[in-house]
């Protein structure tokens, strides 16, 4: 009996302004990214779930992840893709595990989903499940780093402007001032959640390819995000034949220096998985 492949594709073109102090986080191409990656996964043999905008709540995403974890066993494959805004919240808990004292977040429809929350859900998968995560969002380090390391020249090169407000409309960065205001509003909630996650202590075995480095912004687009659109061209409807490292290098080679996708190993995914052709069930 062959392996089973399940996939979950999340794309948010807006968020709930009632939960983000009036900000709706409007983007253009994230739902397209989710649909297009769902087609890619289906062609590769995965059975997929797509959550778009209003469906992509914390409860909805968590339920879909747990349903997949309950089904898959050693040798099976799970693919998670996310397109939307990225953000950060301070990690002020004692013994925090973030070197920059920030937890990166996925900006879901009703609230920010911490990277440690995602890790906890992925850690529920059985040992030996091959987990690949694709994130097309900004994970930009601290707000100060975004503004210091992205020079006006670099911003003009990537986005055609150095105006901060314009950049926020064409990148997938949750505005830094908005991040700070919402964190102050929900500080007690996030601190309790961070303490709970730290006490849990589990670490997922997964392979992550993300849209950019911590100090960079991920560009939205008219049809697809810059990262997702480049990934789809490199994949070339299945013509690509290398392993995950070669796939990552091929994507990076087609991206501007101002947005350099990252390859990251969480936990201890099997070397054979890393060497495998992407999207193999």
pLDDT of residue 98: 46
5-275 — its CATH code?
A: 3.40.50.1460
Closest listed residue to residue 225, CA positions, set 170, 152, 166: 170
pLDDT of residue 214: 76
Question: Tens digits of per-residue pLDDT, 209-243?
Answer: 999 987 788 999 999 999 999 999 999 999 999 99
Q: Give the separation between CA 104 and CA 111, rounded to whole angstroms.
A: 13
> In the chain, which stretches have pLDDT less than 70?
93-100, 139-169
Domain ranges across the chain: 5-275
pTM of the model: 0.88
pLDDT of residue 102: 78
Q: What residues are paired with 89 via a beta bridge?
A: 103
Token pair for residue 263? Answer: 């390859």
Question: Tens digits of per-residue pLDDT, 67-84?
Answer: 999 999 999 999 999 999
Q: Give the separation between CA 207 and CA 277, rounded to whole angstroms.
A: 13
The backbone torsions φ and ψ at residue 99, rounded to the nearest 5 degrees and listed phi first, read -60, -30
């Amino acid at each position: 009996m062959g392996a089973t492949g399940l996939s979950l594709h999340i794309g948010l073109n807006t968020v709930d302004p009632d939960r983000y102090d009036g900000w709706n986080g409007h983007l253009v191409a994230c739902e397209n990214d989710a649909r297009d990656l769902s087609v890619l996964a289906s062609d590769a043999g995965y059975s997929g779930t797509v959550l778009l905008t209003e469906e992509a709540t914390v409860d909805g995403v968590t339920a879909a992840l747990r349903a997949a974890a309950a089904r898959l066993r050693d040798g099976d494959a799970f693919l998670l893709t996310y397109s939307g805004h990225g953000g950060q919240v301070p990690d002020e808990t004692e013994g925090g595990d973030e070197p920059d004292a920030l937890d990166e977040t996925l900006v879901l429809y009703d609230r920010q989903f911490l990277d440690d929350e995602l890790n906890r859900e992925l850690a529920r998968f059985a040992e030996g499940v091959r987990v690949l995560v694709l994130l097309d969002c900004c994970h930009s380090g601290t707000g100060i780093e975004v503004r210091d390391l992205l020079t006006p020249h670099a911003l003009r090169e990537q986005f055609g402007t150095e105006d901060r407000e314009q950049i926020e409309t064409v990148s997938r960065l949750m505005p830094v001032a908005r991040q700070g205001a919402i964190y102050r509003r929900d500080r007690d909630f996030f601190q309790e959640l961070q303490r709970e996650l730290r006490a849990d202590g589990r670490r997922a075995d997964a392979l992550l390819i993300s849209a950019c480095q911590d100090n960079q912004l991920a560009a939205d687009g008219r049809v697809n995000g810059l990262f997702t659109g480049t990934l789809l061209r490199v994949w070339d409807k299945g013509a690509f034949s290398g392993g995950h490292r070669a796939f990552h290098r091929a994507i990076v080679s087609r991206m501007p220096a101002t947005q350099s996708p990252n390859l990251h190993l969480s936990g201890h995914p099997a070397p054979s998985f890393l060497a495998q052709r992407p999207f193999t069930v």
